[in-house]
Structure 1
Amino acid sequence: MAEAVVYAHTQNARTVAQVLTEHVDLLVKPTSQTIRNYRNMIEDHIQPHIGGVAVTQLDIRHLTGWVRAMQEKKLAPKTIRNVHGLISAGMETAIRLGYRPDNPCRGVALPTTEHAEDKEQFLTWDEWELLYRNLNPLWQPLALFLVMSGARFGEATAVKVGDFAQVRADGGVTWVVRINKSWKRDGANAYYIAQPKTASSKRSVSIPPMVVEALKPAMEGVSGDTLVFRTSTGGRVAQKYLWNAWQEAMEKARAEDPTFHKTPRLHDLRHTSASWGLQGGLSLYEVARRLGHSSTATTERVYAHLMHSSHTKGAAVFGKMGKQLEA
C-alpha cells in the first residue's frame, strides 16, 4: 500500500480520498446529515488507511487489507459494510468520470452482519399483554401504536393528529393513519421532520379502534398539525425515554412470570406487528405495504417462516397433485 501512496504523490494522481470527496459533492438527494456522515466515514475510516492510494492503483489487495484493519479497530460488521458501500459507490463515480475502467470493490469479501443477538424477537399476544400491563401508563399509547401499526420509531413519533382519518371499507368504517414522514437530523445534528427516502415508505395503515381510543387524550382539543406523541413542550419524543420504560417493564414482567425470558428491543414491536399480520392471514404483499418495504423480498426473508398457513396450503396442494398422478 505504501508504494501506491508514493505513486499517487509522485505522479500527482487523484487519490481514493479525493475521488470519494468528489463523489459526495456530486450527490443530489442525500440530506445534510447523510453528507455529514459520509464525510466522517472518509475522514475516520478511509483516509488513514487507503485514502492516499491513487484511485487508479486501488485493487482487491488494498481493500482486503482495509477490511482487516476495520475489524482490528473493532468496527461493527454493518459499519464496515456501510463504509465499503461508500467506497464502491465512489468507484462507480470514478468510472463515469473516466478515472479508472472498473470497480475494484466488486467481489471483496465482507464480514457477515448476522449474529445471534441481532435476531428478531417476536412476541406472542400473551407476552405482549404481560409487557404492556407492566409498562408505565405514560408510554403505553406509544408502545401500542408501534405494535399495532408496525411503524418505525422515527415514523411513529412524527405522526400528527391530522394524519388520522376514517375511511369506508368492506361495508364498514375503518381508522387509518397516514405515515409519510419521519424524524431526521441535519448537518448540525439537529432534528427535523422530513419525507422518507423511498416512495414505498409513504403509506396508509389501518389500525384497530382500541389504538384510537388510547390516543384520544393526546388528540382531542388540538390542531391537526400537532404531534400525537410529544413532550410537555410539544416537541420530539426521544427513543431513550421509551426504552428506559420498556426495560423496566421487562424486569417487572420477568418478576411476574419467571418463564418469560425474551429481551425484545423496541424495533421488535415492528417485527411482532408483521408476525401477527402474517399469522392472522395477511399476505406478504399486504404486510410489506404496512411496513413500507419497497418489495416483498425483505418481508419474505425475515418473516416467511411464520406463514404457517402457507405451509399447510402447500402441503394440501402438492398432496392433491400426488393423488392425481397416482390415479
Structure 2
Amino acid sequence: MKIKTEKRCGCRGDDGKQLGARCPKLARKNHGKWSYRLRVPKELVPLVGQAFIRDSGFPTAKAAEDAGNERIAAVRAGQRSAGALTVGTYLDQWLDGKRKLRPTTLRSYESHIRLHLKPYLGQLALTGLHPNHIDQAYRRIERANVDKRQPTGPATIGRIHATLRTALNGAVKQRLLQYNPALSVELPEHSERDVEPWEAEEVGRFLDEAASDRLSVMYELIALHGLRRGEACGCQWPGLDATASVLTISLQITDNGGRLGVWPPKTRSGKRKVDLDAGTLGSLLAHGLRQDAEREAMGAAWQNGTLPDQHGRPVVLSGLMFTRPDGRHLDPAYVSRHMQVIARRVGLCTAVVSAASAGTAVVTVGRRHVAPERTWTVYRDREPIGTVTVTRCVRRRGSGATLTLAEPLPFDLRPKDELGERVLSRRRLHDLRHSSASIQLDAGVDLALISKRHGHSSTAITSDLYVHLLRSAGQRAAEAVASAIPRASRVPTSCPQPANEESAGLSES
C-alpha cells in the first residue's frame, strides 16, 4: 500500500472556496498541515470496510507518512475499520451477542443503552468516538435532570459508564477500535452510601416478631447466615445435611423485570455450603414438619411449579423449603414486601388515619397492635417527633379507634404518623444480609470466612462493602498486638516539657 502525502490549508480564494493544496502560502514552513492517503488492496477491502484510508492534521510530511505506515501495520495485523457503523448500532449488536449475562444485568445494560447511550451517542460513527463526546453526553444527561421527576445521579452515570466501557472493550477485542475512549473520561464525583444495617438487638426484635410467620426461618437464614433473597427462595431440602448441620446453596429464583426464572447462584463462589447453628437447624426441621402437613392437606395438587432457566428451558422445581401454602414457589418480590409488613409491626402501637391539629386532645387511629393506654413516641417517616400519653381508647366501626390524650397535642399530626416504642428504622430485605456480615465482623469473625459464607467472589468485595464497619475489629487487633508483646515499660502518652533551655540542650554557648 503506497502512501501519498499532501500539504493543504484552509485559506479561501476570492470565490470563497478553499484553496487546499493550491494556496501560494504553503511554501511557508508553518502554513498548512500535512495529510496522507492510501489505497487499500482489493483483497483487504472486505476486511477494512473501505477502499481508501486517509487522515490529516500532521505538522510534517514525515509525521503524516509515519502515521500512514502505522495504519498499514494495523491493517496487516487484522485491524478492521467499522466504516459507517454507528455507536448505537454497535451497542445493539454487542448486547444481542451477550448470551451469558444474568437477567438483572441484561436488563440493566438494555436500560442504559436505550435510555442514555443511544440518545446521546448513538448517531456517532464508532471509529470517530472520542472521550470528549462521552464527557459531553454525561453533561447533557445531568442538564436534562431539571425536567425529570427522578434525576439521573452521579452513581447512575457511573453505572451507565461501566456499561459503555464494557461494550467498547468488546469493540477493541474485535479490532473495531484501536483503544477504548471511555477509559479517558473523568466521571462526576459521588460517594457510595455506606451500608447501615440493623444492629444485633434490632435484628433480634425483628426475628422475634417474625417467629410466628410461615417464612420466619427464611428470614432467619438471611439475617443469621447471609443468604441472598433469591438463594433463600431456591433452598431445597435435598441440600440440607442435618447430621453435619450444613445447607448447600445450589440455585436461586430470580426476578427479571417481573418474569421469574431459576438460575445458579450469582457468582461461582455463590454455590457454597453454609454452616448452620443448632437453633436455625432446629427451626428448619420444625418448618419441615409444618410443610409436610400442608403438603398432606393439598395432596396431589402440591407442586412447586415450573420456571425457565438462564437458557429459557423449563425447569420443574421440587423439594423447595419455602413455598406458598399450596406448594408453589415464592415470588422474591413478595418476600421483600412481606418482610416490610413484619418489620413495621415491631414496637408499633397504631397509626394515625386522620390529621389532627396542635391543641387537639382526640386522635383517630387505625388498627391497634397492643393496648394503647400509655405514653408513646410519635414517629413520622420512622423518625421520632415527640411523645403523647393515651388515657382512653374508644373503638370505632371496623378496626379503627378514637384515642383521648392526657394533654392537648403540642404539634400537628398527619395521616400515617405512628405511635410506638423503639420502632425499627426502614431497611431493605437485603440489609438483613448486611446485618449478618456486620454482626460477624463485630464478633471478630475473619473477613475471609465472612466472604465465603456470603458467597462473595472475593474478599475485596466484602471489604469494600463493610470497610466502615471494620473499625471495632481494627481496634481489637491493635489491642491484641500491643498485649502480645512483652514490654519493660510503656512509652508515656505525652512527653514532659524541659524544665529550662539548658536541660533541653537549647542554651547558647
TM-score class, shorter-chain normalisation, is: 0.7 to 0.9
Q: 1:295 aligns with which of 444, 458, 464?
A: 458
Q: Which residue does the alignment assign to 2:434? A: 271
Change in CA separation of 1:294 and 1:34 when aligned onto 2, cut-off 3 Å: closer
| 8 Å CA contact retained: 1:183, 1:194 | yes
Change in CA separation of 1:177 and 1:78 when aligned onto 2, cut-off 3 Å: farther
Residue 96 of structure 1 deviates from its aligned partner by: 2.2
Q: 1:123 aligns with which of 187, 198, 213?
A: 198
Q: TM-score when scaled to structure 1?
A: 0.81
In 1, Cα distance between equivalents of 2:445 and 2:118: 48
Residue 204 of structure 1 deviates from its aligned partner by: 0.6
| 8 Å CA contact retained: 2:260, 2:331 | no
Q: 2:477 aligns with which of 313, 317, 320?
A: 313
Report SS of the residue matched to 2:202.
helix
Question: Rg bigger for which structure?
Answer: 2
| 8 Å CA contact retained: 1:139, 1:245 | no
In 1, Cα distance between equivalents of 2:105 and 2:476: 45
Please, which runs of 5 or more residues in structure 2 have no aligned partner?
1-81, 146-150, 296-303, 305-316, 350-419, 492-509
In 1, Cα distance between equivalents of 2:97 and 2:337: 41
| 8 Å CA contact retained: 1:132, 1:249 | no
In 2, Cα distance between equivalents of 1:226 and 1:51: 48
| 8 Å CA contact retained: 2:131, 2:181 | yes
Residue 323 of structure 1 deviates from its aligned partner by: 4.4
Change in CA separation of 1:64 and 1:262 when aligned onto 2, cut-off 3 Å: same
Which of the pair is proportionally richer in strand? 2
Q: Which residue does the alignment assign to 2:209? A: 134
| 8 Å CA contact retained: 2:336, 2:429 | yes
Change in CA separation of 1:106 and 1:123 when aligned onto 2, cut-off 3 Å: same
Q: 1:230 aligns with which of 323, 338, 346?
A: 323
In 2, Cα distance between equivalents of 1:158 and 1:278: 27
Residue 98 of structure 1 deviates from its aligned partner by: 2.4
Cα deviations by residue, 1:127-162 (Å, 9 ceiling, x for unpaired): 122222333623322211211220110111111111
Residue 309 of structure 1 deviates from its aligned partner by: 4.3
In 1, Cα distance between equivalents of 2:168 and 2:207: 49
Residue 94 of structure 1 deviates from its aligned partner by: 1.7
Residue 244 of structure 1 deviates from its aligned partner by: 3.5
Q: 1:92 aligns with which of 169, 186, 195?
A: 169
Residue 232 of structure 1 deviates from its aligned partner by: 2.8
| 8 Å CA contact retained: 2:135, 2:185 | yes
In 1, Cα distance between equivalents of 2:83 and 2:194: 48
User: 5 Å matches for 1:208-247?
Assistant: 208-220=277-289, 221=292, 225-247=318-340
Residue 272 of structure 1 deviates from its aligned partner by: 1.0
In 2, Cα distance between equivalents of 1:250 and 1:52: 49
After superposition, the CA RMSD in angstroms is 3.2
What's the % identity of the aligned pairs? 24
Report SS of the residue matched to 2:183.
coil
Which of the pair is proportionally richer in helix? 1
User: 5 Å matches for 1:102-117?
Assistant: 102-111=179-188, 114=191
Is 1:203 equivalent to 2:272 in the alignment? yes
Q: 1:26 aligns with which of 97, 105, 112?
A: 97
Count of equivalent residues: 308
Is 1:155 equivalent to 2:231 in the alignment? yes
Is 1:146 equivalent to 2:222 in the alignment? yes
Please, which runs of 5 or more residues in structure 1 have no aligned partner?
1-10, 168-173
Structure 1 window deviating more from structure 2 (140-149 vs 282-291): it is 140-149
Q: Output the amino acid matched with 1:106.
A: L
Q: 1:54 aligns with which of 116, 125, 132?
A: 125
Report SS of the residue matched to 1:193.
strand
Q: 2:140 aligns with which of 64, 69, 91?
A: 69
Change in CA separation of 1:182 and 1:243 when aligned onto 2, cut-off 3 Å: closer
In 2, Cα distance between equivalents of 1:261 and 1:40: 34
User: 5 Å matches for 1:157-196?
Assistant: 157-166=233-242, 174-184=244-254, 190-196=259-265
Structure 1 window deviating more from structure 2 (63-72 vs 201-210): it is 63-72
Change in CA separation of 1:326 and 1:213 when aligned onto 2, cut-off 3 Å: closer
Cα deviations by residue, 1:180-224 (Å, 9 ceiling, x for unpaired): 2222356x9631211134211111111122223323354344799
Residue 104 of structure 1 deviates from its aligned partner by: 1.0
| 8 Å CA contact retained: 1:160, 1:228 | yes
In 2, Cα distance between equivalents of 1:254 and 1:113: 36
